A and B are shown apart, each in its own frame.
Chain A
Amino acid sequence: EAGVAQSPRYKIIEKRQSVAFWCNPISGHATLYWYQQILGQGPKLLIQFQNNGVVDDSQLPKDRFSAERLKGVDSTLKIQPAKLEDSAVYLCASSLDIAETQYFGPGTRLLVL
């Protein structure tokens, strides 16, 4: 079974530029999560989707971050404009349904200069 796919794996941008990350969850998984992992810290939830609807985006900085999962399958996370403090690894996870085990992708490592 294929795991959670993410791209790109690495991205370097300058502050104030925009960037987008893509995630393809495990086939059949209804729930999709985006986490931000800053160096030396544990992952922090940004947003949770159930199919194509948002369940929780309380920790998403909505002035610069946006995410969508239009067809209930793959998802994109965008940052516009990026700040230095956005440098982190962005992890996507999926689960069969709510309260099921979350499986993580390899992450996208973002460096903002």
Chain B
Amino acid sequence: AQSVTQLGSHVSVSEGALVLLRCNYSSSVPPYLFWYVQYPNQGLQLLLKYTSAATLVKGINGFEAEFKKSETSFHLTKPSAHMSDAAEYFCAGGYSGGGADGLTFGKGTHLIIQP
């Protein structure tokens, strides 16, 4: 069974600093991977998606993630944090096995931006 692990339930960075949110997956089959962002009382918004076309994936709002098969990782980064980036971030994995492709989510990382 596939699992997704996000290291750190809370990450705090200063405005303008590098953002790094960690995600590791376990799967015998290379999955497709996502990062979603959730603002308070809202649904999940897709940041970016990895589907094996390229290992470095660029998303919205200046975020990007790199798929590293050797490390089974898909960490999310942004060079310079902005106050509006404060939110909950979820890494999720899935693969189309016989049509069932419901996503497996990590527990989430709450990103705090210090002024």
Interface residues of A (CB under 8 A from B): 4, 31, 33, 35, 40-45, 48, 50, 55-56, 91, 93, 98-99, 101-107, 109
Min C-beta distance of B102 to chain A, whole Å: 3
CB-based contact B43/A41 at 8 Å: no
Task: Give the residues in chain A near B99, CB-CB below 8 Å.
Answer: 50, 55-56, 98
Task: Give the residues in chain B near A43, CB-CB below 8 Å.
Answer: 44, 90, 103, 105
Min C-beta distance of A16 to chain B, whole Å: 27
For residue B92, CB closer than 8 A to chain A, the reply is yes
Task: Give the residues in chain A near B107, CB-CB below 8 Å.
Answer: 40-42
Interface residues of B (CB under 8 A from A): 4, 32, 34, 36, 41-46, 49, 90, 92, 96, 99-108
Task: Give the residues in chain A near B104, CB-CB below 8 Å.
Answer: 45
10 A-B residue pairs with Cβ-Cβ distance under 8 Å, sorted by A, are A40-B108, A41-B108, A42-B92, A42-B108, A43-B103, A56-B99, A91-B44, A99-B32, A101-B49, A107-B43
Task: Give the residues in chain B near A91, CB-CB below 8 Å.
Answer: 43-44
Q: Which of A50, A102, A105 has the most CB of B within 10 A?
A: A102
Whole-angstrom distance between the alpha carbons of A104 and B102 in the complex? 13
Question: Given A42-B90, A48-B100, are A106 and B42 also a contact pair (CB < 8 Å)?
Answer: yes
Whole-angstrom distance between the alpha carbons of A50 and B43 in the complex? 22
Min C-beta distance of B101 to chain A, whole Å: 5
Task: Give the residues in chain A near B108, CB-CB below 8 Å.
Answer: 40-42
Min C-beta distance of A100 to chain B, whole Å: 9
